[in-house]
Structure 1
């Protein structure tokens, strides 16, 4: 089943509703009225990763970039949602339809789109295809939007080690794949460099080809409860997309700290009731990466090849929205020093545990 939605005016409240719908196992969308080629207007499109829009994390960051392009560049935008249990053929069909409708660029949100983009991009040489978090598929009309997640996660490890009172912290990965291992590696190194005696509990929710670990909050909640109760952790960092919201809920219920991911989760409407427990978030500037690619196409100079975002370009970082975090002068000082040392290459952050 394929679903494509043209954005009209959608705010954060709609994203919150989408979160609820996803948690219940279903989503609704409306059909696009007319294609960009039919209307003569320019349009850009994104195809969401597992969890879809409303995950308060990765997909919502991509949506923010699309919405910014719609507002600032005065273009039409289209979205395509994933379906439960879909395969590569579904992704191929989704990207093909978006390209046929005249969208340019067409952006796949997440590494899972790599095989589909490899098949579809050569058939539309005049369309720029973007893929986030993947460098395995390349081509003259493909832009690889990638991030140094390990660097941002290192900073989270520094913060976690500084605030932990038990000396034990937890890491939860959605699915055990190389991308998520970058988060674990950086986080663990940051913790250990700050407190060599600290203990890091690591858990993955699912193994490929099961990607439910990015989509089901109950899995994240159960894993976090185990680390908090049996493991004695008092800080939990989850890199698990929508499933990470369950880990945040569990930490909040225990009066412990959670560290968010991808978006500044302290400011996500769907997580408002847990926000006092969100110490900080490891941010990835997915929003600007999406907007910048769309703008490059609109300017007539489409960017292709690897486009990397690291600490040196503020492409990854650590959010400071929580007022409690802003009061932690010693934590902030340690994080800022670590950031400077990484940028200066005094610290080499590992990309594998």
Structure 2
């Protein structure tokens, strides 16, 4: 069961209804209006009701619900466990008033306000209250990998990007989330894989955010990519919290390129959030800083000459800063190299110096190549 809104064609008022999906998971799910709750302006209820945390959704340049929210209203639209073509229903909530005094709503799914004359006109024709972005295709993961932080585990989380240089043609792709996980002092990793998106859950005693009810953070490709890019390119990062709903704010797209003071809450639509100085705001920053070694680096003194492996397949990356690193040792900063022979990886390490065709490769150039090879 979930809430949805529609326009009463006779009164032109926004009504709130309890709804449920029929034919869920078939790709042809139909929203059924079960019971009218009342008119928006006459009722008071929590918009967190009927919510769940079993799906992570995102679109290029945005992460639904400001990195930490999902909605039961969306689940009827998913055909599989993951995908990149879901058209999700709007989740419209009240969001104060426009400057002219007219009531304003906000779509948490597509992160845009609703309530101008064009919105009412469109709703009057269909009966549905949909925002102007409602046809944007979303990526999603159902029941994503959930990472918990425990004292006996070593966890590393990175933004996985395409190679900077390869002996073969490089196929451009979207970022992914790479996870390393070890138990105790064991040499072998229990997890060493790329994921479309993950969820990190933590103890509320960490006090990462002003809202104590937030104990999970969704790490999506857009959020991870912008976080790593801000570190690499030296942008001032912090995390500002919305004073109205208590959610941490996430800057993505153009807002993640230029630090700024005024921010827009992706969770409730509040457009008057101010930071004390120009920043790029991301909830990944306090999570990253919780573990001291996330901010310490060492430059390996190892050297590799690719010319010694002539004719073999290879791939190179700039080793990027981890989104999260719990190991009791610094991260290595250099160029990471894979070399393959007969289908087997014979080199898998990070080097301070890499020589190719007689010239030393520059890590900064490798990073720029990775960004150019990334679909975002």
**Which TM-score bucket, shorter chain as reference?**
under 0.3
**Bigger Rg, which one:** 2
| Higher RCO, Cα 8 Å, sep 6+ | 1
TM-score between the two structures when normalised by the length of structure 2: 0.25
